[in-house]
């Protein structure tokens, strides 16, 4: 019974890593534009344009960080660096939780 559970866990890990490898090229294909800050002087009232710019900066920044961390996680997995993989997975989880917490539709 214990051996079957270990095999199931190994199969699940293999499946998950394969799925993550499939996601990475799609994330890499997303082009991040140059985001020039609107011409709103410091201390002036915030404009809608400045708010939209800030949201785009946040979204592209977290996307870029997430895909780099995911690529690093897969490289570490390939190298058998399980403790480091755990830390990277925790960071990915935290980024996803933060992005979910900043959704506008809540």
pLDDT tens digit sequence for 55-64: 999 999 999 9
Label each residue of 87-98 as H, E or C.
HHHHHHHHHHHH
pTM confidence score: 0.80
Give the Cα separation of 95 and 79 in Å (integer). Answer: 24
Q: How far apart are CA 25 and CA 62, in angstroms?
A: 17
CB 70 within 8 A of CB 23: yes
If you average pLDDT over residues 59-88, what whole number do you get? 94
Query: From CA 97, how far away is CA 100, in angstroms rounded?
Result: 5
């Amino acid at each position: 019974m214990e051996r079957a559970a270990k095999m199931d866990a190994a199969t699940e890990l293999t499946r998950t890593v394969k799925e993550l490898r499939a996601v990475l090229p799609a994330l890499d294909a997303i082009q991040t534009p140059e985001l020039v800050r609107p011409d709103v002087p410091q201390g002036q009232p915030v404009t809608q344009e400045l708010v939209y710019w800030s949201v785009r900066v946040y979204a592209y920044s977290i996307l870029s960080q997430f895909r780099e961390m995911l690529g690093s996680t897969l490289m570490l997995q390939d190298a058998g660096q399980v403790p480091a993989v755990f830390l990277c997975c925790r960071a990915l989880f935290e980024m996803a939780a933060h992005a979910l917490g900043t959704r506008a539709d809540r």
